[in-house]
Chains A and B, each alone.
Chain A
Amino acid sequence: MLDGGRPDPHTAVVTVIDAPPRIAVLVPTTGGCARVASLVERPRLARSMATHVDDFRPLPIAEGYHRLVEGPLAALGGAPSHWHLALTERIDTGRSWELPVLLAHRALARGAMLADVDAADLVLWATGAVDGALDPTGETRFVAEKLRHSEALLAEAGPRARLLVGAAAPEAALVTEAARRLGGQSVHTESFSDLERALDDWLGAKSTPAPPGGPAAEPVPTPAAETHEPPETVTVPRVVGTNVRLAVIGAAVATLTAAIAFGLSTFVGENSAGEPVSEMIRLERLTAADREACIDAVLSGRPLAATPVSLEATPAEVPGEPALCALRITARGTTPVRLRLDDRLSGTLIAGDTSAGRVLPVTSAAPFDLVFRRAPTGRTATLGVGRGTTEREVEIRFADPAGNAP
């Protein structure tokens, strides 16, 4: 039963919580990581404004924020009003603040309250621009840098972290990986409805405040409902107010929890379909007679012997012999692939750019050589390979020819 409403045959009240969920909303940028310090409705303002938390002067993004509030956000319904967004860090350019700020608005509309990271029940991290329909748009860039700038706050958040990025972001896989490491969750959202469903899951699963005389509850399918037969619809009421009694839908909780635990949400994670790694790239090991010959060849530009590495099995085995000079990665087909190498080969690679920790596009015409400063004997690394919406990972193990453990 929903507080203040009629008994609902599809729901069962199992608990009542007096406190609204507390959330921290992080707005990562290429220069740092801001947090939404406050988001307050200010009907007496002439227009919506965005400021630094300690300042009254509008930030350069204030004009864009006003357009967001008076345009697509206002189109969602409700009385037109103006808002004051206060951020803990300055954001001067770009549009990637739009998605997290939208997330903050929609979370508050569900009755959530803003909090600092240490006090929050959930820490929401998002990056990307939105269009007139509030769908993610454009190419979300510099995800790796933004994650790096958010490292400390996300580490503090741990499993409370919820990361959201547009599905078209070239580096979206990094977000999945970051969430996995934290024990949190990630969502690759294709539309505003995905974002709404994610918030329903995140805020509704813990506490679903009922609208005291507010708008009617809307039936929202849960991820579990989408993956089980027969389809089941659970009523998740929209939220109004800050001090409402919160009802948790009992029957849905167990299913939803299990679904989240299994990562079954249909809009989360990597594709299970799509081409295998071996069809996206060709991997070759480049070798010479010995280490000295290897270095001579690299410095003089002389060719090295190339031997294909099988990617059919995982981990892919590469002899970590001293004569291993480099790995050559070439895209198969005409479409470029995205490479992402974790940092477990650090210390073995030559100075300069590598794909370690960032995404590197590679084409069939221009292979990428991962040149070793010294043989990575005994190491194992994970190579992420993506093309289109497919993201794959392959472990590469550099076996010790002497059979020693790493």
Chain B
Amino acid sequence: MIRLLAAGMLIGLSLPAFAQEDAVNAAIDERPAEPRDVEAYPVTGEAISALRVLVGRPLPGETCRDALFDARPLVRTRFEAAAGDALTLPLADLCLLELRNDAQDRTLEVRVGEDLATLAITADQRLFRGLELIPNQTTGIPIRQLPVGQMNVAVDVFWSGITSPDQVQSFTISFVDR
């Protein structure tokens, strides 16, 4: 009984934190990842399973100007890509795009369509020719919101050192200004 009471108190105490997180996600119009999603995307033998796409948006009431130039905190949302899929990202309030290799022991190579250079305030140029991400490495691209309508950027992902084009996996990031 005592344990039940303690658990209830803990849940009660954590509710404000959940509420704050929901408010943040509501403000940026994105659905929070279900807790089970964390376990639902293990890194497998497929290169794309190791890639995480992270999107940084400003805090509610703030702008990318605040986040990028005043070093205000960013609210990050993580996405997992699937080969052949399209990931749609609204450009409004999109300040930072990050790509991360979540594999523990394999180097990933990522090649992004040149279209992204239009939106990138600055970027490692290797991103467009093939950038190697060692385990747990992240590359970040500060983004400017331009009226592009819809811009589809192809992303190729493969394990570093592979020689067969069959092992290259691709997906699309679709930037939408709305």
**A residues touching B (Cβ–Cβ < 8 Å)?**
30-31, 92-93, 141-142, 145, 295, 298-301, 326, 347, 350-354, 360-363, 366, 368-371, 373-374
Chain A residues positioned under 8 Å from B137 (CB to CB): 145
Chain A residues with CB under 8 Å of B144's CB are 298-301
Q: Could you tell me if B68 and A373 are in contact, using CB atoms closer than 8 angstroms?
A: yes
Cβ of B69 to closest chain A Cβ, rounded Å: 5
A167 to B65, CA, bound (A): 44
B4-12, B21-29, B30-38, B121-129 - the one binding chain A: B121-129
Q: Bound complex: CA of A142 vs CA of B131, how far in Å?
A: 12
Q: Which of A298, A352, A362, A374 has the most CB of B within 10 A?
A: A352
Interface 1/0 per residue, B111-128 and A, CB below 8 Å: 000000010011111101
Question: In the complex where A30-B134, A350-B142, A351-B142 touch, is A299 in contact with B122 (Cβ < 8 A)?
Answer: no
- Does B90 lie at the interface of the complex (its beta carbon under 8 Å from any beta carbon of A)? no
Would you call B105 an interface residue if the criterion is a C-beta within 8 Å of the partner chain's C-beta atoms? yes
Taking the complex as formed, is B107 at the interface, i.e. its CB lies under 8 A from any CB of chain A? yes
State in angstroms the CA–CA spacing of A301 and B134 once bound together: 31
B93 at the binding interface (Cβ < 8 Å)? no
| Selected contact of B122 from candidates A92, A142, A145, A369, CB within 8 Å | A369
A-B contact pairs, 28 of them (CB 8 A): A30-B135, A31-B104, A31-B105, A93-B105, A141-B132, A145-B137, A295-B69, A299-B65, A299-B121, A299-B144, A300-B144, A300-B146, A350-B69, A350-B121, A350-B142, A351-B56, A351-B67, A351-B68, A351-B95, A351-B140, A352-B141, A354-B122, A360-B126, A366-B125, A366-B128, A368-B122, A370-B122, A373-B68
Give Cα A354 to B124, complex, Å. Answer: 8
Q: Is the CB of B122 within 8 A of A301?
A: no
Chain A minimum-CB-distance residue to B132: A141
Say yes or no: is B64 at the interface (Cβ < 8 Å to chain A): yes
A295 interface neighbour in B65, B106, B118, B132, Cβ under 8 Å:
B65
Give the shortest distance, in Å, between A376 (CB) and chain B (any CB): 14
CB-CB < 8 A to B139: which residues of A?
353
Residues of B participating in the A interface, judged by any CB pair closer than 8 Å: 56, 64-65, 67-71, 74, 95-96, 104-107, 118, 121-126, 128, 132, 134-135, 137, 139-142, 144-146
- Closest residue of A by beta carbon distance from B97: A352
A92, B69: Cβ atoms under 8 Å?
no
Question: Which chain B residues border A30 with CB–CB below 8 Å?
Answer: 107, 134-135
Whether A353 pairs with B122 at a CB distance below 8 angstroms is yes
B122 and A31 form a contact (CB under 8 A): no
Q: Tell whether A373 pairs with B123 under 8 Å between CB atoms, given A30-B107, A93-B105, A295-B65.
A: no
Do A352 and B105 touch across chains, with their CB atoms under 8 A apart? no
Which of the residues A142, A295, A350, A352 comes within 8 Å of B134, measured between beta carbons? A142
Given A351-B71, A351-B74, 4 other A-B contacts at CB below 8 A? A350-B68, A353-B124, A366-B125, A373-B71
Do residues B96 and A351 form an inter-chain contact, with CB atoms below 8 A? yes
Complex interface: chain B residues within 8 A of A145 (CB): 134, 137
Residues of A within 8 A of B70 (CB): 373
Q: Provide the bound-state CA to CA distance between A362 and B129, in Å.
A: 12
A142 to B107, CA, bound (A): 11
> In the complex, how many angstroms separate the beta carbon of A299 from the nearest chain B beta carbon?
5
Residue of B105, B135, B141 with most chain A CB atoms under a 10 A cut-off: B105
Would you give the shortest CB distance from B36 to chain A, in whole angstroms?
Answer: 29
> A352 vs B139: C-alpha distance in the bound complex, in angstroms?
7
Closest residue of chain B to A298 (Cβ to Cβ) is: B121
A353 near B64: Cβ-Cβ < 8 Å: no
Of listed B69, B139, B140, B141, residue having the most chain A CB within 10 A: B69
Residue of B nearest to A146 (CB): B134
What's the least CB distance linking A174 to chain B, in Å?
Answer: 15
In Å, the complex CA distance between A145 and B122 comes to 22
Please give, as numbers and ranges, the residues of chain B lying within 8 Å of A363 by CB-CB distance: 125
Q: Which residues of A contact B69 (CB under 8 A)?
A: 295, 350, 373-374
**Which residues on the B side are within 8 Å of A369 (C-beta)?**
121-122
Shortest distance in angstroms between A301's beta carbon and chain B's nearest beta carbon? Answer: 6
**CB <8 Å contact, B123 and A352:** yes
B65 and A360 contacting across the interface, CB-CB below 8 Å? no
Please state if B125 and A352 are interface contacts (CB–CB under 8 Å): no
